[in-house]
Amino acid sequence: MKSQFLFSALVLVFVTITSCSQEPKKEDAIVQIDPAKPGSTNWKTQMKSLESALNELYPLAFDARKFSAPENEQKIQKSLTQLRDLARDVNHSPMTQMSDPSLQFISIDFKEQMDLTWSSFVDKKKEFARFNVLHLSSYCIECHTRNSNGPSFGYEKLSQQLQTLSVLERAEYLTAVRRFDEALSLYNEYFKDSKNSYNDFFKGEKAAQEALSITIRFQKNKENTEKLIKSMQSAKNLPLYLKRSLDLWMKDLESWKKEKKANLNPTVIRKRLDQANVRRFEGGGLASEVLVLRSLSDLHELLLKPLKPNEMSEVLYLLGLAYSQTENSLFLSLDEKYFETCIRRHPQSPWAKKCFEKLEENLAMEYSGSAGVFIPVEVKKRLEDLRKIGNF
């Protein structure tokens, strides 16, 4: 599995505590924590500690000289130690057993990633530690924009250090800490600024994907999505491949605007993902982003509902399918993890075999090259274990 996962599992867990009230399903042994009971205030304290650590680390990580400067070493190590210790607490939390298995994925990977980042910094491998810190906020964004559950914050002032960052850097930070309205305003400002250069294709593409995650996955807002796409269309010197995608995004947005209400039916979502495949064929990998993000938002919302085992296994399969169709670098190997969870939780379901087939196919593509397909021994063993579980 790919590494560098999700800095803000902690914030996601907190938001889940304060916003989710669905009944747990016995077959998944889900544990709920009541925020009204004693002890829950500790989560709020942890969130403030997390925010404090992020405020210290984020602006320093953007400046290689400051991050490696001896006068900042003690402050950075203190923040990293806070994050490492919080990661270990969350890794043992029963919240990781809730309906959406993302929490479990995030909890384990977050702990491993923070252990690696902390030890790298302590061992004086500061540039490697800085690289890891810079990528942490991307994973916060993936967590916080999964669906429309949880609040959007906007009451804290940016620290003086954060004010010195670029528009895009501030937008990414605000998205990571759930200040979505402010972040979206900055993303629109970024694309409307005629002075921006898009020679760095990845930067513009990443900004577009992060902003769309806010308007589609979290807000589910057609008007804000249209405003955002129009901001991108007005951008000067945008790469031609991204311009082509914008036309297709607008086309899919028009279809969305004609829908009278949300439909969380898996069959409808499956048809939308089929359409996303057609979009990718027409305009390349990015062309299906609107369709895929809509599907991901709906599927994560479905996980919060009381589902029968067969329904749950179908949703897990569709989540794996949707994550495998996006070009968004935030999502890493979530597709493989959803396919595997489907097999392990519901091995007798007809969807389990479909999950195994897709997982096998994706891994073969991941480890293929000009010299052929070379799947690591441990990955082969995992596949064989899954084959036995499902008796495929």
Question: Which pLDDT score, from 0 to 100, does residue 103 have?
Answer: 64
The two structure tokens encoding residue 287 = 């062309």
Question: Which pLDDT score, from 0 to 100, does residue 351 have?
Answer: 96
Mean pLDDT value across residues 359-373: 82
Q: How far is CA 307 from the centre of its chain?
A: 23
Mean pLDDT value across residues 34-39: 35
CB 276 within 8 A of CB 292: yes
Coil, strand, or helix at residue 263? Answer: coil
Question: Which pLDDT score, from 0 to 100, does residue 295 have?
Answer: 95
> Global pTM?
0.73
User: Is 9 contained in some domain?
Assistant: yes
CB 103 within 8 A of CB 24: no
Q: Dihedral sign for Cα 294, 297, 300, 305, please.
A: negative
Number of domains in the chain: 2
User: Is 218 contained in some domain?
Assistant: no
User: Is 43 contained in some domain?
Assistant: yes
- 3-class SS letters over 75-140: HHHHHHHHHHHHHHHHHCCHHHHCCCCHHHHHHHHHHHHHHHHHHHHHCCCHHHHHHHHHHHHHHH
User: Is 223 contained in some domain?
Assistant: no
Question: Which pLDDT score, from 0 to 100, does residue 37 have?
Answer: 37
Give tens-digit pLDDT for 299-315: 988 988 889 999 999 99
Distances in whole angstroms, Cα of residue 190 to Cα of each of 159, 176, 241, 275, 352: 20, 17, 19, 30, 44
Residue 235: which of 286, 198, 266 has the closest Cα? 198
The two structure tokens encoding residue 346 = 């519901």
pLDDT at 92 over 80: no
The two structure tokens encoding residue 144 = 């916080």
State the Cα–Cα distance between residues 141 and 6, nearest whole angstrom: 9
The most confident of the ranges 62-66, 96-100, 172-176, 350-354 is 350-354
DSSP category for residue 373: E
Question: Which pLDDT score, from 0 to 100, does residue 326 have?
Answer: 83
* 112, 144, 176 - which closes a domain: 144
User: Is 300 contained in some domain?
Assistant: no
For residues 209, 211, 213, 215, the Cα torsion angle rounded to the nearest 10 degrees is: -140
Mean pLDDT value across residues 181-189: 90
User: Is 237 contained in some domain?
Assistant: no
Q: Which long-range contacts (CB under 8 A, 24 or more apart) does 264-267 make?
A: 264/298, 264/301, 264/302, 264/305, 266/302, 266/311, 266/314, 266/315, 266/318
Exposed e or buried b for every residue in 94-132, given b needs 16+ CB within 10 A? ebbbbbbbbbbbbbbbbbebbebbbebbeeeebeebbeb
Question: Which pLDDT score, from 0 to 100, does residue 377 have?
Answer: 87
Per-residue confidence at 106, pLDDT binned at 50, 70, 90? low
Residue 311 CB neighbour total at 10 angstroms: 16
Alpha helices by DSSP H, the chain:
9-19, 41-61, 64-68, 70-91, 102-122, 126-144, 160-163, 167-176, 180-192, 201-212, 222-233, 240-258, 266-283, 289-302, 309-325, 334-345, 350-366, 377-390
CB 25 within 8 A of CB 306: yes
Mean pLDDT value across residues 334-341: 89
Question: Which pLDDT score, from 0 to 100, does residue 138 have?
Answer: 54
Give tens-digit pLDDT for 311-331: 999 999 999 999 998 876 555
For the chain, percent of residues with pLDDT exceeding 90: 30
pLDDT at 149 over 60: no
State the Cα–Cα distance between residues 208 and 172, nearest whole angstrom: 11
Residue 300: which of 319, 314, 274, 313 has the closest Cα? 319
User: Is 107 contained in some domain?
Assistant: yes
Residue 8: which of 51, 67, 60 has the closest Cα? 51
Domain limits at 384?
331-392
User: Is 91 contained in some domain?
Assistant: yes
For residues 173, 176, 182, 188, the Cα torsion angle rounded to the nearest 10 degrees is: 80
The two structure tokens encoding residue 207 = 């900004």
pLDDT at 96 over 50: no
* 101, 117, 144 - which closes a domain: 144
pLDDT at 340 over 80: yes
* 144, 169, 196 - which closes a domain: 144
Single-letter amino acid code for the residue at 359: L
